[in-house]
Amino acid sequence: MNIKDDRIEATLLTFKVALDVKGNIWTDIGGLPLQEIKHIFKKPEDAHVIRILIREGTIKLQSIHKYLEDEITAIHYVE
């Protein structure tokens, strides 16, 4: 039995760790720009929750980015 899924999804926040062909490791933090929230979420209470989620999530992801950056630097320094 195949049930159709009618959910609508939006990517609010992303974090990517990538390795390019030259062997460089990099990270990317992205997602819905804060200034777009009010255009997408019409209810003020929904927009407020989404804004906090994106803002706080970005802060946490930036600390992960910094941690990984420091670890990679340390590995290169030791080698």
Q: Provide the β-strand partners of residue 16.
A: 28
Number of domains in the chain: 1
Residue 1: pLDDT band (50, 70, 90) is: very low
Answer whether residue 61 is part of any domain. Answer: yes
Answer whether residue 71 is part of any domain. Answer: yes
The per-residue pLDDT for range 27-56, each reduced to its tens digit, is 899 999 999 999 999 999 999 999 999 999
Answer whether residue 47 is part of any domain. Answer: yes
Q: How far apart are CA 31 and CA 16, in angstroms?
A: 11
Answer whether residue 44 is part of any domain. Answer: yes
Answer whether residue 15 is part of any domain. Answer: no
Answer whether residue 39 is part of any domain. Answer: yes
Q: How far apart are CA 21 and CA 13, in angstroms?
A: 26
Domain that holds residue 46: 32-78
Answer whether residue 55 is part of any domain. Answer: yes
Average pLDDT, the chain: 87
What are the residues whose beta carbons fall under 8 Å from the beta carbon of 17, sequence distance 6 or more? 25, 26, 27, 68
